[in-house]
A and B are shown apart, each in its own frame.
Chain A
Amino acid sequence: MSRYLAAVIVLLCIFWGLRSKVNVYEYFLQGAKAGVIALWQILPAILGIFIAISLVRNSLVWGYIINKLAYLMNPLGIPQDTAALLLVRPFSGSASLAVLTQIFIAEGPDSQSGLIASTFMASTETVFYVVMTYLTSVQIKRSRHILPVTIVIQLIGLICTTFLWHLLA
């Protein structure tokens, strides 16, 4: 079903445009131009985050932090291999998908870790990435309370997910 969603939405939009007698193609181009400009503006922020992530992920410190974190999360019943997911999730959608895939390969999607990791992925966002690119796009430098709130909700998300699957399984 959801595979057809995007196509159906575009179709409806174009029909709606024709019905309302607006100049569909002209407005499309106008909007497309704004989209290109917006992308151009967030590009440096994306480059910055990619470089930092690549630098950290290749270091020994990274493995050390993940081990420590897994150890801390153990008493809460959170599977060890989701520690890497918790750290990567805020920064990069593709990197966290890679971690999730590794969990699927190692333990299978229907294992306890697989279920917890996929639910966590499905119910959280790449928060740092979103905050950074969105604020950069309108030239705001201070993020005040946004980051602490996003960190807390990611943690709560992981704890709730774990709790829920312990109840269900």
Chain B
Amino acid sequence: MSIVWCFLMILGLLSAIIERKPERLLQAISEGGKDTIEYLFTLLGIMAFWSGIYNVVEKTGVISSLSQKIARPVFGRLFRKRLRKNEEEAVFASIVANLLGLGNAATVWGLKAMQELKRESGKEGYLPPNIATFLILLCSGLTIFPTSIINLRAAYGSENAAVIWLPALIVSGICTVVALILDRIWGEK
């Protein structure tokens, strides 16, 4: 990830220097700061609220019983190392939130799952295979109903806004399968 960031910065800075617009750096810094604060405003409520709700549900034990029934057999095949009970629950909740298209709420539960996965591995600075599989699963774009895109299409006058639903489902399905296969192959090294 560090390489990607450095590459973008070098590209942007070199371009600014060659175009004789070095002030672009200052612009980018203040713009980035402003965007981050804006982001913080929208995200603070969402993050705090959904983590709170998650904690309540977790304490009732309903996630644990659902994940044992539904997730355990699936996760046993997906993940290379067997997940402990608390990891399994957090990963399950995060994937459900993603499938439902809960957006930032899904981020909250995803970060929670990361903490659980990390706690089990312990070692510093090393990427446990289960975290890789989990992130790749999230990144493969699996969703059941892409609400925001369909709404946007309708807002711009589409005659059949939901027509993309099935294609999106097929494509994200293909991507998920390919992603998991690649994780198995490239993750071995």
Chain A residues proximal to chain B, CB less than 8 Å: 2-3, 5-6, 9-10, 13-14, 16-17, 19-20, 22, 24, 27-36, 38-39, 42-43, 46-56, 58-62, 97, 100-101, 104-105, 108-110, 114-115, 118-125, 127-128, 130-135, 137-150, 152-153, 156-157, 160-161, 164-165, 168
Return the contact of B56 from the options A17, A124, A135 (Cβ within 8 A): A17
How many contacts between A and B, using CB within 8 angstroms?
A: 305
Secondary structure class of chain A's binding surface, majority of residues: helix
Q: Are A52 and B9 in contact (CB under 8 A)?
A: yes
Q: Are B36 and A46 in contact (CB under 8 A)?
A: yes
CA distance A95 to B55 in the complex (A): 32
Q: Please list 26 pairs of residues, one from A and one from B, whose beta carbons are closer than 8 Å in the complex, sorted by A's number.
A: A13-B56, A20-B61, A27-B55, A35-B48, A46-B36, A50-B32, A52-B28, A55-B16, A58-B27, A97-B148, A97-B152, A100-B152, A109-B161, A110-B158, A118-B149, A121-B149, A125-B139, A128-B4, A132-B1, A134-B111, A137-B115, A149-B139, A150-B139, A153-B179, A160-B171, A164-B171
Q: A123-B175, A130-B135, A144-B187 are in contact. Are A13 and B57 (CB under 8 A)?
A: yes
Q: Which residues of B contact A149 (CB under 8 A)?
A: 136, 139, 179, 182-183, 186
